[in-house]
Amino acid sequence: QVQLVQSGAEVKKPGASVKVSCKASGYTFINYYMHWVRQAPGQGLEWMGIINPSGGSTTYAQKFQGRLTLSRVPSTSTVYMELSGLRSEDTAVYYCARDIQVVPAVGCPDYWGQGTLVTVSS
The conformational region for residue 33 under phi > 0 = left, psi -120 to 50 = alpha, else beta, is beta
Rounded to 5 degrees, what angle do the CA atoms 22, 120, 65 make? 65
CA distance 85 to 66: 10
Give min distance, CB of 49 to other proteins, in A: 8
Closest to other proteins by CB, 42 or 122: 42
Closest to other proteins by CB, 16 or 108: 108
Give min distance, CB of 15 to other proteins, in A: 26
Asked if 35 and 49 touch (Cβ cutoff 8 Å), the reply is: yes
Residues making contact with other proteins (CB under 8 A): 35, 37, 44-47, 49-50, 59-62, 95, 97, 100, 106-115
Give min distance, CB of 121 to other proteins, in A: 22
**DSSP secondary structure letter of residue 102:** P
Closest to other proteins by CB, 16 or 40: 40
Closest to other proteins by CB, 33 or 80: 33
